Structure 1
Amino acid sequence: MSPEARTYLREALSFMEQSSLRREQIDWPALRSTAFKQAGAAQTAAETYRAIAGAVGALGDGHSWFRSPEETDEDLGASVSQFHGLKGRRLLGGMGYISLPGVLGDDETLAAYVEQGQASVTAADGGRACGWIVDLRRNSGGNMWPMLTVVASILGDGPVGAYVRNDGTKIAWTIKDRAPRLDGQKFPWEPLSPVARKNPAVAVLTSRQTASSGEAIRLAFRGRPSTRSFGQPTFGVPTNIAIQRLSDGATIGVTDAQGADRTGRTYDGPVTPDEAVPDQRQGFGTKTDQAVNAATAWLADQPCCDGT
């Protein structure tokens, strides 16, 4: 193996060992030995990719990943200005509905997502929505902070969750002045004006497709007063990813913390709904959408939506 390839592989493996949530459960000498054997007589960084990908898989957390420079550039490539599935509308009974898909991309893409999402919330709230449905069923993850910005005015100010490392260190998520903060750090997007009704009842919809940052948004609503979830258990990776960009532009993402809700309960597997509703392939988003129907029935019994 060339010195270049050896150094590259060592740096990748060291980042994994330093970051992994499961680092105390892993036989690192064995993992390193297997990776170097798999890399064999690699002469370039690219020739170690297969070994690095194998080592990432051996972490066993179901969330960590490795991406080549080309795959990394594709994830952060050309800006997107319109997002299919990011929409809001009014439902019968005066309820607001917002569908929140995942998002990943450059700064312009994230800003466009926030703008479209906030416009969708405003449109759905036009008649003073008495309660809300937040639909995460098609949210497979990405960057959680634009998503959290869109629904921050619905969530309300205060602590909403955290990432917790295996040494007990907590990285808090809060909402302040209708804007999310990570350990107090504010993000660049302007907050939405308050929704018409303060502390509204909220129904959250999840499916087995709800994953990663989509699950983090689910946790932000868990434990919130006047909130209930409907649908199916989530995919099962409500965890944080530490990202390292390597010398040639490839990236490694390693699971380094569990997600926690506002009560402090941590999660590293599927998040179950309060009320199970069968998965649907037909009827999604229509009058026969069972999860939406169950959510609206519950909301109709909540103060304000029931006319009180």
Structure 2
Amino acid sequence: MRNLPKRIKIFPILVFIIFFSCDSLEDKKGRFLLKGNEKLKENDAKNALSFYSEALELDSTYADAYFNKGLAHIQLNQLEEALGDFSLAIKYNSEYYDAYFQRGLSYLDNGEFYKGREDAESLLSLDASNWHSHFLKGLVEEKLKNYSEALDSFRKASELAPENSDLLVNQATIHFYLKEMNQAQELLDQAEALNPGESNLHNLRSMIYFEEKEYDKALNSVDKAITLNNRQAYFYNNKGLYLLFLGQLEEGLELINQSIKMDPKNPFALRNKGIYYVMKGDKISAIQYLNELNRDYPDMELVKEYLEKAQDL
């Protein structure tokens, strides 16, 4: 099992009303920015980058071009490049709220949690009345396993944006980590009332059912999540795990392998392959997967339990 995706993709399209002559610098760089934004909306990040670079050739201090260039790099999964561009946007506009927010999310994606915390603190200083400030702070504290602080931040964000179902799912996720399943389910019910089409709430509900050994219910919930969003690797990984525990080993392995193809870096999928090999009685393969995970992720659930089972085969 794995947590929800936390990046809220915000691609603000900056519209400029241009009062300059056709040949002015502002007019030229503004046109390149708008062309880049159009390509970004079309998911054509490579061509968007070209237009933003053209704008920056005209003005190397153009903060908006650096910011949107960073967004294009995010679309291309180029985190280091995105971080560099968001930092340049902030360099040339020290109060660039959206740049701090996106850089903070990128730091979290890059495993730089304390840098993400610094950006969350900057957001709170810039605008504590914006729910994004508390949301990023919650994500940081969650990554640092400061669950009480994370829950407090997500609650504050939810108070500022009560119609945002994602923020209820974030709170439910913290309760799930704390094994407070009733509180988590109550929040998921609230989230579903606001937005029944939110795939993450169905995925989290499936994880709760799995913890309660309600494997059929877990499978039903994760199927709802996949129906709503078939692009999330860990939904398939979770479904594969549930199938293993329902005795459908080969069907489960197929989905776990599909998840690994979609996201090769997910250690939970590797754990589930180790569990598969334990269930198949393949001691060597099981230990190969689970030994390494036990070393690198000693707190991951089910790893120690199934490593011991593998060693007893």
Q: What is the TM-score with the length of structure 1 in the denominator?
A: 0.26
RCO comparison, higher one (Cα < 8 Å, 6+) = 1
Larger Rg: 2
Between Structure 1 and Structure 2, the one with more helix by share is 2
Q: What is the TM-score with the length of structure 2 in the denominator?
A: 0.25
